[in-house]
Amino acid sequence: MESAEIARRFLRFFEERGHTVVPSASLVAEDPTLLLVNAGMVPFKPYFLGQKKPPFPRAASAQKVIRTLDIDEVGKTTRHASFFQMLGNFSFGDYFKEQALPYAWELLTKPESEGGFGFPEDRLWATVYHDDDEAFDIWHNKVGVPAERIQRRGMADNFWSMGVPGPCGPCSEIYYDRGPEYGRDGGPVADENRYLEVWNNVFMQFERGAGGGKDAFPILGDLPAKSVDTGMGLERMAAILQGVDNIYEIDTTYKILDRAAELTKSRYGRDTRADVSLRVVADHLRAGVMLVGDGVLPSNEGRGYVLRRMLRRAIRNLRQLGAGEERYMHELAATTIEVMADQYPDLKNDAAHIHTVIDAEETSFLGTLRTGTAIFDAAVEETKRKGAPTLPGSQAFQLHDTYGFPIDLTLEMAAEQGLQVDEDGFRRLMNEQRDRAKADSAAKKTGNADISVLGEMLDRAGRVDFLGYDQTTAEVNVIGVLVDGASVQAAGAGTTVEVVLDRTPFYAEGGGQLSDQGVIRTGGAVVDVVDVQSPFAGLVVHRGKVREGELRVGELAQAEIDIERRRAISRSHTATHLVHRGFRNALGESAAQAGSENSPGRFRFDFTATGAVPPTVLRDVEDEVNAILINDLKVHAYHTSLNEARSMGALALFGEKYGDEVRIVEVGDYSRELCGGTHVASSGQLGLVKVLGEASIGAGVRRVEALVGIDAFRFLARESVLVAQLSEQLKARREELPERVEGIVTRLRTAERELERLRSAQVLAVAGELAASARDISGVSVVTHRAPDGTSADDLRKLALDVRGRFPGDRAAMIVIAGVPADRPVVVAAVNDAGRTRGLKAGRLVGVAAKALGGGGGGKDDVAQGGGARPEAIGDALGAVEHAIQETLS
């Protein structure tokens, strides 16, 4: 039974029993406490907590899930995976244990011919929480499971939560006995390899607090209603129903693994190391494709870091399989899209975008491997020079954070050099970085407020109505006030506050559009609003400061936005839509929006592309967009169903979440996008769009910055004045300026090269004099010389080599030249063959000089270079070298 059929049977079974089938949510979690969706119940968490009223009493879903805690174990075992799918049925205060357990048993044991999974009843075992007599009784007396096949377990095994504060409860799991060939008898408590968990029934009835581990957290109290959250791992079910040993051999994973083996000329099942690498590639390709499809882009923080890490681990393992510099990620991504498209059809529509992102990351990382290897070699040399056995964690972190070098590769290469790596130091720095990124992301949305406090605000306010499409001012009620994250009844002048209203004309930051600013006035207070956020769907928080008076909960208020700011931002947002359409027309549909920021008079637009956009394309897009402005096309917004929007060809932006009903913004027949932002009434109101330029902001992502409206006009006006000034100074017409400036630059470069040649000749002219004035130290000709300030490091090196070459081959010679090219001293040492036979080494002597200069350096025995930070110590450095030469020769 294929994976897609398993999912269809599960959802159909529960739909027939009154459950609403809910499509998988994006892997990008709305919950600010989570980086990515890590459990099937995450999209329903607000319903369990009572923060939102569920639109249905029971639901079923096949949810995409990412878990990265065990990412280093992926491939090493056949049980760990970073991406999987969780089939689940949910009750929100509707039914509880007495129905959930029989439902699970019925679906598992019903014959395949009748729509079930056909498990033999005598091979199924159940576990219950140690004191859950009710679940034990249902299994034994209602379902008919023999008492000896029902086992009690403690909190670590049969009590479930997401690992963070939130809903939790005891659970009852169902296990399938794979037979004695897989392990010893005795049920799940004896051997979880033989007895494989297939279904977990969680009875959501408590709320947990913060704490570590599976059983080291407090229970804060009861949830508003007793609910059910069940989870069945689709991949694990597929392994059993397809008769294979593990999740890497099921249909949707093995096809990727097999293609990777074919491309790298490997064979699965023959070599342990190759098997590990193939499993890593298969798992990480599935995870990577699904993350990119949900709008995540590779980066060095947050969920982008998770994606980058997995893609780079896949690339690294392909190299270990023998891929070398060959690029196989495109082909493997195509295979992944093909095998997963039956369950997620949008992957085919998004294929161009997915390929662009993954191909670019592969190209970038292959370059990183080359650069990182050189940096690694230098770090190893420095570590060995100090005689240390361990590469510092800070250097491993720098390799990872700055150069994208994966830690597992650093560990492997260090071992080859006989070194260890300070993994604890590396992990500490990594955790600090991740915590900062996660805290920054959460703070942006929630400020200082506890999430539970915001949940109470949402309960109190209900869904906050946004009035800003039609109104710029509105009469509202103050529902809640927060100071330093705590709910208060009043706040006086000078207090920084967060205000919740029952409705608002203020646009909360989202979809790339900056928030509105403005004021909230009550009978006795004025609040200046500087930021507006929506930490939860339906909740809007206004942040600002009480300018005067006292703001109180329950008062009537007048909310008024800054109209000019709103108009300027709306112009930028509409311009972004037009530029998006323009780039798609010019570069193809793979030029998908990957982010934007719409601010007053200025916007930036990020999109996927394989390389730099030619200036001619930028000009063409700019011309096309401004032609749309001249035509003054009407901007029209309306709501429709998501399916209807897709059939109309409306652009949906990667990373955005959409409900069943969506808002479409059209600019004539030119642009049509799903968008919740504010816009102008017609394209002519933009006035003018001026593209400033484009640049790379990451692998496969380009950024265009542009001005709109009066800001664009002022920019062009300044440009015109500047051109007029240049024309006057150069005595040339405007159209002649490029040629005139090019001629001046060419002559200037020629003059600079000539000056450099003369300076170099002047420096080298003293070579003969220096050789003739060499001092004899124990039979070695020694030259120490300070060159004039400003002499380049390259000329210092040339001079040292020139002087060395003036001594006959049988005469030992040691030359040390120092100078200050800019503001930092440089020293170069050169030794001839005869000098090296006397024990003189340029690298060691440069180290002596550099130490005196307050720096470091080294190199080969024949020539070396170093530097420092103390130009005034050059005399001492040269003296230290002479002393070191005397010691060596004596």
pLDDT classification of 423: cutoffs 50, 70, 90: confident
Phi, psi dihedral angles at 78 (to 5 degrees):
-100, 10
- Structure confidence at residue 287 (pLDDT): 94
**Residues 364 and 398 both lie in one domain:** yes
Mean predicted confidence (pLDDT) in 304-320: 87
Q: Which segment of 403-412, 545-554, 784-793 scores lowest on mean pLDDT?
A: 403-412
Please indicate, yes or no, whether residues 485 and 427 belong to a single structural domain of this protein.
no
CA torsion through residues 346, 348, 350, 355, sign: positive
pLDDT category, 48, cuts 50, 70, 90? Answer: confident
Whether the predicted pLDDT of 634 surpasses 80: yes
Q: Find the range with the poorest average confidence among 37-46, 436-445, 751-760.
A: 436-445
Residue 834 pLDDT class (50, 70, 90 cuts): very high
Neighbouring-strand partners of residue 698: 701
In this structure, is residue 188 part of a structural domain? no
Winning range, highest mean pLDDT, from 54-58, 431-435, 607-611: 54-58
- pLDDT digits over 144-182, tens only? 999 999 999 988 889 988 777 778 899 999 999 999 999
- 472-481 pLDDT, tens per residue? 999 999 999 9
Is there a binding annotation on residue 580? no
Query: Which residue is associated with the tokens 């206004």?
Result: 542
Query: Smallest Cα–Cα separation from 659: which of 674, 637, 638?
Result: 674
At residue 548, does pLDDT exceed 90?
A: yes
404, 422, 442: which is the final residue of a domain? 442
What pLDDT digit, counting tens, does each position of 234-273 carry?
999 999 999 998 889 999 999 999 999 999 999 898 888 8
CA atoms within 13 A on the CB side of 245: 5
- Residue 672 to residue 373: CA distance in whole angstroms: 47
Distance of alpha carbon 198 from alpha carbon 214, whole angstroms: 20
Does one domain contain both 571 and 602? yes
Domain match, 536 and 572 both: no
d(C-alpha 772, C-alpha 774), whole Å:
6
Residue 412 has pLDDT above 80, yes or no: no
Is 70 exceeded by the pLDDT of residue 825?
yes
Determine whether the annotation assigns residue 168 to a binding site. Answer: no
Residue with the bigger pLDDT between 589 and 872: it is 872
**Residue 51 in this model has a pLDDT that exceeds 90:** no
Which of 241, 266, 296 is where one domain is finished? 241
The pLDDT tens digits of the residues spanning 349-404 come to 888 888 988 988 888 888 777 777 777 887 888 888 878 888 888 888 877 776 66
∠ CA 87-91-94, rounded to 5°: 160
CB 825 within 8 A of CB 850: no
Give the H/E segment covering residue 151.
strand 150-153
Q: What does pLDDT average to over the chain?
A: 87
Q: Is there a domain that residue 133 lies in? A: no
pLDDT at residue 552 is higher than 90 = yes
For 218-242, what is the mean pLDDT? 90
Contact between 705 and 618 under an 8 Å Cβ cutoff? The reply is no
Task: Note whether residue 376 is domain-resident.
Answer: yes
Q: Is residue 736 part of a domain?
A: no
652 vs 316: which has the higher pLDDT: 316
The string of pLDDT tens digits covering residues 590-602 is: 788 888 899 999 9
| Residue 296: predicted pLDDT | 86
Asked whether residue 679 is marked as a ligand-binding residue, the answer is yes
Q: Is the pLDDT of residue 448 over 50?
A: no
Mean pLDDT of 325-343: 92
DSSP string, 217-269: S-EEEEEEEEEEEEEEEHHHHHHHHTT-SSGGGSHHHHHHHHHHHHHHT--TT
Cα(17)–Cα(262) distance, integer angstroms: 45
CA pseudo-torsion sign 230, 233, 239, 241: positive
The parent domain of residue 452 ranges over 447-560
Asked if the structure places residue 759 within a domain, the reply is no
Span 63-83, average pLDDT: 81
On whether both 229 and 368 belong to a single domain, the answer is: no
CB count in 10 Å sphere of residue 820: 19
**Cβ(256)–Cβ(281) below 8 Å:** yes
Domain count, the chain: 5
Q: Are residues 236 and 265 in the same domain?
A: no
For residue 661, the model assigns a pLDDT of: 81
Per-residue tokens: 573: 């947002």
In this structure, the answer to whether residues 641 and 695 fall within a common structural domain is: yes
Lowest-confidence segment of 209-213, 714-718, 755-759, 809-813 by average pLDDT: 209-213
Per the domain annotation, does 610 fall within a domain?
Answer: yes
Residue 430 and residue 298 in one domain: yes
801, pLDDT greater than 60: yes
Same domain, 209 and 286: no
Question: Is residue 293, in this structure, part of any structural domain at all?
Answer: yes
Kindly state whether residues 690 and 585 are assigned to the same domain. yes
pLDDT at position 78, please?
75
Asked whether residue 379 falls in the same domain as residue 465, the answer is no
883 is annotated as contributing to ligand binding: no
Same domain for 222 and 262, yes or no, is: no
| Length, in residues, of the chain | 890
Terminus-to-terminus CA distance in the chain, angstroms? 84
Q: Of 442, 457, 484, at which residue does a domain stop?
A: 442
Q: Quick count: other Cβ atoms within 10 Å of Cβ 560?
A: 18
**What's the pLDDT tens digit per position in 676-685?**
999 999 999 9
Task: Tell me the CATH number at 828.
Answer: 3.10.310.40
User: In angstroms, rounded to a whole number, what is the distance separating the alpha carbons of residues 286 and 358?
Assistant: 12
- The two structure tokens encoding residue 872: 């005034």
For 847-868, what is each residue's pLDDT tens digit? 899 888 888 776 788 999 888 8
pLDDT of residue 331: 94
d(CA 725, CA 475) in angstroms, rounded, equals 54
The mean pLDDT of 524-553, rounded to a whole number, is 92
pLDDT tens-digit readout, 475-511: 999 999 999 888 899 999 999 999 999 999 999 998 8
pLDDT tens profile 531-544: 999 887 788 999 99
Whether residue 31 has pLDDT greater than 80: no
Q: Is residue 138 part of a domain?
A: no
What element of type H or E holds 844?
Answer: helix 842-852
CATH number at residue 71: 3.30.930.10
Sign of the alpha-carbon dihedral angle for 409, 411, 412, 415: positive
